[in-house]
Amino acid sequence: MRRLLFAANWKMQVDPAEARGYAAQFLGATAPVEGRTLWFFPPAVSIESAAGALRGRPDIRVGAQDVHWEPKGAFTGATSIPLARGAGAAGALVGHSERRHVFGESDEATGRKVRALLNAGLTAFLCVGEKLEEREAGKTEEVVLRQLRAGLAGVEAGALSGLVVAYEPVWAIGTGRNATAEDAARVHQTLRSELGRLGATTRVPILYGGSVNIGNALGLLAQPEIDGVLVGGASLDPDGWAEIVGIGG
Ligand code: 13P
């Protein structure tokens, strides 16, 4: 059985008390499945309560939805890697499409965050994905490769073992429109080839995200190129998410 990752991105939802309630319900509904690792990305204020409540399940990790590249300083509103780690984070999402397109974060800032996370020994989940107009203009490959290369600029090949890549086409996020499993797998193949060119010697997990749900997860995971899923909306209900993480297991 190949390794699979199931990552839940709660975005700007689930407060600390709700995270504890969620964890209790989720833990009651699931048991570890061989070869599967589960990640939860709560909002920064809920990392500590989620990590505390989920402690004791060796298959579960908690991460931040974003981090700053500087370890400390005058960056009002930002979360540093040491702060996130202190709250219980073992990794972080970087370059999520909402950071890029709602908050205007650049490829270059994304790269700094990836480097800082890998240097600190945390797992970096580098998110890439094209917008609808880019897809329609036939630029999907160009966009995701640009984001991947910029996100990994200055990263030593040996550090790529701390990396996870998530392909999240922007037009599929929260829209109910997901890429077909075959389409997603083709983009994953492109990303995997580039990771090889960049010197990756271990298999970098590549996740798909964008309107993943109980109805399409199995088809996506059946693709050998898809190593897991990064899920927003369908991860917010603990019983529904329990069902997805146990799918086909
Ligand atoms: P949805 O699953 O709600 O489409 O969100 C995907 C996503 O952005 C996960 O990071």
pLDDT tens column, 126-142: 999 999 999 999 999 99
Tens of pLDDT, residue by residue over 3-19, are 999 999 999 999 999 99
Residue 178: predicted pLDDT: 80
Spatial separation of the C-alpha atoms in residues 96 and 166, rounded to whole Å: 9
96 Cα to the center of ligand 1, angstroms? 10
Residue 179: predicted pLDDT: 84
Buried residues in 182-214 as b, exposed as e (16+ CB within 10 A): eebbbbbebbbebbeebebeeebbbbbbbbbbe
Catalytic residues: 96, 168
For residue 178, the ligand 1 atom closest to its alpha carbon is: 4
Spatial separation of the C-alpha atoms in residues 168 and 36, rounded to whole Å: 20
233 Cα to the center of ligand 1, angstroms? 6
pLDDT (mean) for 167-191: 93
Q: Is the pLDDT of residue 1 over 70?
A: no
Spatial separation of the C-alpha atoms in residues 33 and 139, rounded to whole Å: 38
Residue 177: predicted pLDDT: 84
210 lines ligand 1 (CB under 6 A): yes
Q: Which domains does the chain have, with CATH numbers?
A: 4-245 (3.20.20.70)
Tens of pLDDT, residue by residue over 79-115, are 999 999 999 999 999 999 999 999 999 999 999 999 9
